[in-house]
Structure 1
Amino acid sequence: MKKLWIGFIALALFNACSPSNNKTALPILGNKTTETKTVNGKTVTDTVYQTIPAFKFVNQYGDTITNKSLDGKIYVADFFFTTCPSICPVMHRNMLNVYKEFKDDPNFRIISHTIDPKYDTVPVLKRHADKLGITGDTWWLLHGEKGDTYGIAKSYLQTVSEKNPKGEFIHDGFFILIDKQKRIRGTYEGTDAAEVTKMIGDIKILKAEPDQIAAK
């Protein structure tokens, strides 16, 4: 019996120290390719991951926001429209928890792209932000040309469309976590509070990764 207990204790210690129970890095999602180049006379093959391309939109304050506005920042992106009667209100109630957690971090942002730019003008987005209690620059609601918004959604691995047969806008309800190198590091169901809590934890893990600390 004593040997059996020693075995149990050893197994417990092994599981407690196992790397699988200590998450130190998030996966990198999306398409990837390999790139071969010569460095100091040696052939080196690197993995090149999918990144979010250049973009240009306008936020709720009327300020121009580009991909460069997010240089050196970890951010979360999503797609919505202000008159959405179903998932969007739930998504943004959950996103408020993310906003409150990181609103004092200058190296973190949230960007929400409207998929109904005809109705969701900049003044409408500002009223929506005020209703949510958003201030400052942590969370930007972005307006842009429909084609630009729908195009960038594909880079975030999201599906959006103008209207379904019932005349309604449709879109995925995910929050997408992006690192400082513009790579996708996680997707989370925005209507699921547990998923959003997990994302908050993953953001903290991402912030501690060496290449995120080093990136300015």
Structure 2
Amino acid sequence: MKKNTWLMFIILAGTMLLSACSKNYEGDFSYEIEDFEFENQDGETVSNEDLKGTFWVADFIFTNCTTACPPMTANMAKAQEKIKEAGLEDKVRFVSFTIDPEYDTKQVLKDYIQKQGGDFSNWDALTGYTPERIKEFSQTSFKSLVDKIPRQNAKEDESSYDFLHSSSLFIVTPEGNAIKRFEGTQFENVDALVNQLKEYVQ
């Protein structure tokens, strides 16, 4: 009888431990991020497995963008700064996927993000894949359209193409599920994003 009691205790403790390890975070949706292995600004491979165990904020940009991407990237940089001020830089990472990998090399992305105020202590700018791959990845994992279109009235020193793409900043859980989005072009959303991350992490 005593042996059976100990066995039940061990089973119960194991069940409670598993429940604690698979926390359900309240969000607006739940999109499972598919497996990927891309290159960051330093030529290092970054995969979804590398990101597991921490929250991360994702966005989709291209450096020739003249509308949404500059404020999005600046707001990501501001969120990164606020996360560091809160002492949470080890618990939150930032990931930018270029949707124009043919132009956005590692160095181009590195220069662009630094120009907008970001650093690479906990931020990866990813490239090194085909345009078809990132289009499929964005649509499958984040339910976000990516489409290349001609740019109207482009100047001589500007790119002749543009992209339709999401301007959202997505929160992804340590288990690899996108659960919330914020409009990335609006500065007032930086605090909302950071406060939500604090709520999840702390």
Q: TM-score range by the shorter chain?
A: 0.7 to 0.9
SS in 2 for 1:78: strand
- Aligned with residue 130 of structure 2, among 145, 166, 169: 145
Task: Pick the structure with greater CA Rg.
Answer: 1
Q: Any residues of structure 2 matched to 1:80-119 within 5 Å, and which?
A: 80-103=61-84, 105-119=89-103
SS in 1 for 2:188: helix
Which sections of structure 1, spanning at least 5 residues, go unmatched?
A: 1-24, 31-49, 209-216
Between the two structures, name the one with larger relative contact order (CA 8 Å, sep ≥ 6). Answer: 2
Fraction of identical pairs, as percent: 29
CA distance in 1, matches of 2:200, 2:144: 21
TM-score by length of structure 2 reads 0.75
Give the match for residue 161 of structure 1: 147
What is the CA distance between 1:133 and its match in structure 2? 3.8
CA-based RMSD of the aligned residues comes to 1.8
| Contact 1:73–1:107 under 8 Å retained in 2 | yes
Q: Extract structure 1 runs of 4+ deviating beyond 6 A.
A: none
CA distance in 2, matches of 1:137, 1:66: 17
SS in 2 for 1:193: coil
Counterpart residue identity of residue 56, structure 2:
Y
Which sections of structure 2, spanning at least 5 residues, go unmatched?
A: 1-24, 153-160
Counterpart residue identity of residue 98, structure 2:
T
- Aligned with residue 64 of structure 1, among 45, 50, 70: 45
Give yes or no for the alignment of 1:197 onto 2:184: no
- Kindly tell me: are residues 80 and 99 of structure 1, through their superposed partners in 2, closer, same or farther at Cα, counting changes over 3 Å? same
Give yes or no for the alignment of 1:178 onto 2:172: yes
Give yes or no for the alignment of 1:126 onto 2:107: no
**How far does the alpha carbon of each residue in 1:40-64 deviate from its partner, in whole angstroms, 9 at most, with x for none?**
xxxxxxxxxx410100111111111
SS in 1 for 2:32: coil
What is the CA distance between 1:207 and its match in structure 2? 0.9
CA distance in 1, matches of 2:171, 2:108: 26
What is the CA distance between 1:68 and its match in structure 2? 1.2
SS in 1 for 2:95: strand
What is the CA distance between 1:135 and its match in structure 2? 3.0
Counterpart residue identity of residue 61, structure 2:
F
What is the CA distance between 1:150 and its match in structure 2? 1.2
| Contact 1:60–1:129 under 8 Å retained in 2 | no
CA distance in 1, matches of 2:50, 2:104: 22
| Contact 1:164–1:170 under 8 Å retained in 2 | no
Give the match for residue 16 of structure 1: none
TM-score by length of structure 1 reads 0.71
Give the match for residue 26 of structure 2: 26
